[in-house]
Amino acid sequence: MTAGAPVDRAALLELATSAARLAGAILLEGRRAGGITVAATKSSPTDVVTAMDRAAERAIAAHLLAARPDDGLLGEEGDDRPGPSGVRWVIDPLDGTVNYLYDLPGWSVSIAAEAAGQTQVGVVLAPLAGELFAASRGDGATLDGVPIHCTAGVPLAQALVGTGFGYRSARRAVQAEVLQAVLPQVRDIRRLGSAALDLCAVACGRLDGYYERGLKPWDLAAGALIAEEAGAQVGGLAGAPPSTAFVLAAAPDLFAALDQLLVPLRPDRDA
Ligand code: LIP
């Protein structure tokens, strides 16, 4: 396939799904075998990588490139290669690593395919729950093949809002200040530990909204498309696009209310 050629979203979605299921099986087997250990740390001593993160990314990359050798790759655990096809895969082989390390639920495999400057398809697999969230641009979002839609019409004070926290102490202090201001204004907060699953929770109505500062492209790519295709608005603050600086996701009416609440708190200030 050469850059600029029409994108076969159905084929990309099928390949993303098979790659996610392959990685999910590897991760489940590793978790059940026990003995998960920290192989390395990244931004802080608590920002951990396990051997399973790396094994899952290797398996996903090999699976994708065996089928589409001219594609590009961007993966959390180090894959970063261009490809002449015009399609780039954005991979978080294990989102929610700390949950996985502690044998807690709330970890996922997130795989998206980008082309023509947009995410075209995305899948988020929750292996423990046996749930597959998927979306193809313009074709809606599904959970295990059943169409899903975010919940509209929820007032701010009734909203169940997800969020997450960074790995550096200075950033967590700022995030705690923001949380102190948000918590009294909403129904409640949930901290699930996987951004991909947070975004999918908004897509299917398990959360009414979600916000976080510091997401990487691989945390965001698939879940953002799934949430958008489920009718949610996904953006940054004050009209900015979603980015590492900030991500906010909710049905459009609640998105506006959360944006209005959050902007004065400057949750995207550096720390
Ligand atoms: C996680 C994110 C989550 C965030 C965690 C962590 P990881 O990604 O998905 O939203 O709050 O701190 O960054 O590190 O498990 O791939």
Predicted local distance difference test score (pLDDT) of residue 49:
75
Predicted local distance difference test score (pLDDT) of residue 200:
98
Going by C-alpha positions, the residue among 270, 269, 264, 261 that lies closest to residue 182 is 261
Determine the Cα–Cα distance for residues 247 and 138; give it in Å rounded to an integer. 21
Residue of 97, 194, 198, 216 to mutate, ligand 1, most atoms within 8 A of C-beta:
194
| Lining residues, ligand 1, CB within 6 Å | 76, 92, 95-97, 164-165, 193-195, 212, 219
Provide the pairing of β-strand 160-163 with 209-212.
parallel
Query: What is the 65 CA–ligand 1 centroid distance (Å)?
Result: 26
Q: Helix (H, G, I), strand (E, B), or coil: what is residue 226?
A: helix
Residue-level pLDDT, tens digit, the chain, 271 residues: 456 667 899 999 999 999 999 999 999 999 998 877 777 778 877 777 778 888 999 999 999 999 999 999 999 888 889 899 999 999 999 999 999 999 999 999 999 999 999 999 999 999 999 999 999 999 999 999 999 999 999 999 999 999 999 999 999 999 999 999 999 999 999 999 999 999 999 999 999 999 999 999 999 999 999 999 999 999 999 999 999 999 999 999 999 999 999 999 999 998 7
Cα distances from 158 to residues 94, 138, 194, 247, in angstroms, run 32, 30, 23, 21
Q: Which atom of ligand 1 is nearest to the CA of 76?
A: 16
Task: Pick the residue whose CA is nearest to atom 11 on ligand 1.
Answer: 164
Query: What is the 248 CA–ligand 1 centroid distance (Å)?
Result: 15
Residue of 50, 95, 199 to mutate, ligand 1, most atoms within 8 A of C-beta:
95
Query: What is the 4 CA–ligand 1 centroid distance (Å)?
Result: 33
What residues contact 169, with CB distance under 8 A and at least 6 apart?
Answer: 44
Q: Which atom of ligand 1 is nearest to the CA of 92?
A: 16
